[in-house]
Amino acid sequence: GESVGLHLPTLSVQEGDNSIINCAYSNSASDYFIWYKQESGKGPQFIIDIRSNMDKRQGQRVTVLLNKTVKHLSLQIAATQPGDSAVYFCAENSGGSNYKLTFGKGTLLTVNP
Amino acid sequence: SAVISQKPSRDICQRGTSLTIQCQVDSQVTMMFWYRQQPGQSLTLIATANQGSEATYESGFVIDKFPISRPNLTFSTLTVSNMSPEDSSIYLCSVARGGEHNEQFFGPGTRLTVL
């Protein structure tokens, strides 16, 4: 079946640097994407979403980029802080009345002080 | 976003027994889902909990093993039946308001260990 995957399972950055987490998806029918942050012992926390009619969306210190041509999604975190250390998941949804999400494998982000 | 709570937060159970997990939302939501997250893994959708009707299960999950109830728009339960150690996972409920709102929010999860 089609799936969502990640290029890098782990990412280590220095505090203050910018982080980029990547995700590849294979379902060309997917038209809605979400990034989640999951800290140890907690449920996934919604960070930012983007619809397929957009290629960029910005939030507070985060930016999501969508490249539909190559089916690639990225999450950029500016001025990464120790509190950003977590596992980050991308998830896709094929839209319509189907709200089901397919999750990628996750990337562990470690921020070194 | 909705405030979602789950009970219990964690449990240790003996094989062959069953555990019912509760999910409570602070507002009415159209969609409720149950996911499983095995240790160190990503999330896998178990089923969509439909209000007033039988849940819709994903491939690999069956009602006899994971019966689900959804009596109203703010509450759902998932039962893990006849448990084995392979059922040790985090079980998460999520909600979506529906309509144009695809955003899906998750509860804190229930950490289940089966001995």
Asked if A95's CB is within 8 angstroms of B106's CB, the reply is no
Q: Is B33 left (phi over 0), alpha (psi -120 to 50) or beta?
A: beta
- Mean pLDDT value across residues A28-50: 93
| Residue A80 tokens, joined | 């990464």
Asked if A99's CB is within 8 angstroms of B106's CB, the reply is no
A53-69: per-residue pLDDT in tens? 999 999 999 999 999 99
Measured between CB atoms, which of A41, A93, A103 is closest to B42?
A103
Q: Going by C-beta distance under 8 Å and a sequence separation of 6 or more, which residues neighbour residue A70?
A: none
Measured between CB atoms, which of B41, B42, B103 is closest to A49?
B103
Best to test chain B binding among A87, A100, A107 (most B CBs inside 10 Å): A100
- Mean pLDDT value across residues B92-113: 88
pLDDT at B16: 98
Asked if A43's CB is within 8 angstroms of B102's CB, the reply is no
| Residue B63 tokens, joined | 């009602």
pLDDT at B65 > cutoff 50: yes
| Residue B88 tokens, joined | 């040790």
Model confidence at A2, pLDDT cuts 50, 70, 90, reads very low
* A97/B89: higher pLDDT: B89
**Tokens 């969306």 correspond to what residue?**
A57
pLDDT at A99: 80
pLDDT at B99: 67
Asked if A34's CB is within 8 angstroms of B104's CB, the reply is yes
Asked if B108's CB is within 8 angstroms of A42's CB, the reply is yes
Listing DSSP states for A19-80 in one string gives EEEEEEE--TT--EEEEEEE-TTS--EEEEEEETT-SEEE-SSEEEEEETTTTEEEEEESS-
A72-90: per-residue pLDDT in tens? 999 999 999 999 999 999 9
CA A18 to chain centre: 15
Q: Radius of gyration over alpha carbons of chain A, in Å?
A: 13
Instruction: Please state, in angstroms and as integers, the Cα–Cα distance from residue A82 to each residue in A27, A38, A53, B84, B104, following that order.
Output: 34, 14, 33, 38, 26
Asked if B109's CB is within 8 angstroms of A43's CB, the reply is yes
Q: In what order do the strands lie in the sheet with A56-58?
A: A4-5, A19-25, A72-77, A62-67, A56-58
Which helix (H) or strand (E) covers residue A107, if one does?
Answer: strand A107-112
pLDDT at B80 > cutoff 80: yes
Q: Going by C-beta distance under 8 Å and a sequence separation of 6 or more, which residues neighbour residue A58?
A: none
pLDDT at A97: 61
B5-18: per-residue pLDDT in tens? 999 999 999 999 99
Measured between CB atoms, which of B45, B107, B111 is closest to A101?
B45
pLDDT at A7: 46
Measured between CB atoms, which of A95, A99, A102 is closest to B96?
A99
What are the chain B neighbours of A106 within 8 Å (beta carbons)? 42
What are the chain A neighbours of B34 within 8 Å (beta carbons)? none
Q: Is the peptide bond before B71 cis (omega within 30 degrees of 0)?
A: no
Residues of A at the B interface (Cβ-Cβ below 8 Å)? 32, 34, 36, 41-46, 49, 89, 91, 93, 95, 99-106
What are the chain B neighbours of A102 within 8 Å (beta carbons)? 45
**Mean pLDDT of all residues belonging to chain B:** 93
